Amino acid sequence: MASWTTADIPDQTGRTVVVTGANSGIGLEAARALVAAGAHVVLACRDPGKGEAAALAISGAGSTEVRELDLADLSSVGRFAAGLDRRVDVLVNNAGLMAVPEQRTADGFEMQIGTNFLGHFALTGLLLPRITDRVVTLSSLMHRIGRIDLDDLTWQRRRYQRWLAYGQSKLADLMFAYELQHRFVAAGSLLRSTAAHPGYAATNLQTRTGTVQDRFMAAANRVVAQDAAGGALPTLYAATVPDLPGGTYVGPGGPGETRGAPVPVGSSRASHDRAVQRALWEQAEALTGVSIAVPRRP
């Protein structure tokens, strides 16, 4: 469906969707469209005040609730999962940071791998017993510059390079999505794992590098980028198309996958390395203390 839009989202009445980072950008636009289609959307936000402001800006046939979630703090991830006492049809692992100055999470991880990947890995594992349909994990075109360094995943010894750290985190997200689907298939589970990327969408991600690059990217946002609503379409496609196979990666169908209607797209050869997928999963379990048990089909 090359012309797929929010008008093609099936009725979401009675479904619950958790969207991380839902107070701005792509997460906000995805939440807005899902509520319009009838879903109950849990806005999982680091700043509950911003989450409440976002909820007030969303209206539709569905409903919202705001819950605090700081993906850079595994204790916060644990509290969020423990406090969410309802079935979850879809988990959208959306929140993320891009090319930020070197920082550490509450647990000592490099901030981008800790937030973009490890926090979402732990969240998925803790919520999986309540998920009934699928997990959608956000990657990026920049996964193609990523390299998984299993000897120093959290940048303890390497000289920090913000863009390579971002690329590694987004490659890790995509490899996690693929490995999760492999494990669903092996267990005979009816659950699905899909992934998406927004292309080049104008969001506040491009204003947080803390360098002169912010000004250049802000200018590019005005001239080149699609808006956040357009960037949210691949997420919405990956989260709602009923017959979408697990393991599908969705992105814009326009030139260079930077903009356009959502379609299934390919990914780098590195993203399909099964040995690295498994090793990354095992390291994520060790770092987060969360072992993901994929339920077998009864």
pLDDT of residue 201: 83
216 confidence band (pLDDT: 50, 70, 90): very low
221 confidence band (pLDDT: 50, 70, 90): very low
Mean pLDDT of the region 144-148: 97
State pTM to two decimals.
0.92
Taking every pair of Cα atoms in the chain, the longest distance, rounded to a whole number of angstroms, is 55
Q: Percent of the chain having pLDDT more than 90?
A: 89
As a whole number of angstroms, the distance between CA 111 and CA 105 comes to 5
**Which of 101, 47, 102 has the alpha carbon at shortest distance from 71?**
47
How far apart are the two ends of the chain, measured CA to CA in Å? 34
**Which of 214, 205, 196, 167 has the alpha carbon at shortest distance from 257?**
196
224 confidence band (pLDDT: 50, 70, 90): low
203 confidence band (pLDDT: 50, 70, 90): low
As a whole number of angstroms, the distance between CA 295 and CA 184 comes to 8
Q: How many residues does the chain have?
A: 298
Query: Mind listing the pLDDT tens digit for each residue in 83-140?
Result: 999 999 999 999 999 999 999 999 999 999 999 999 999 999 999 999 999 999 999 9
As a whole number of angstroms, the distance between CA 188 and CA 101 comes to 42
Q: Which two tokens stand for residue 84?
A: 């969410």
Query: Mind listing the pLDDT tens digit for each residue in 30-82?
Result: 999 999 999 999 999 999 999 999 999 999 999 999 999 999 999 999 999 99
* Residues that are catalytic: 166
Q: Which two tokens stand for residue 230?
A: 């357009």
As a whole number of angstroms, the distance between CA 282 and CA 7 comes to 40
Distances from the Cα of 233 to the Cα of 44, 55, 97, 256, 263, angstroms: 19, 20, 20, 16, 10
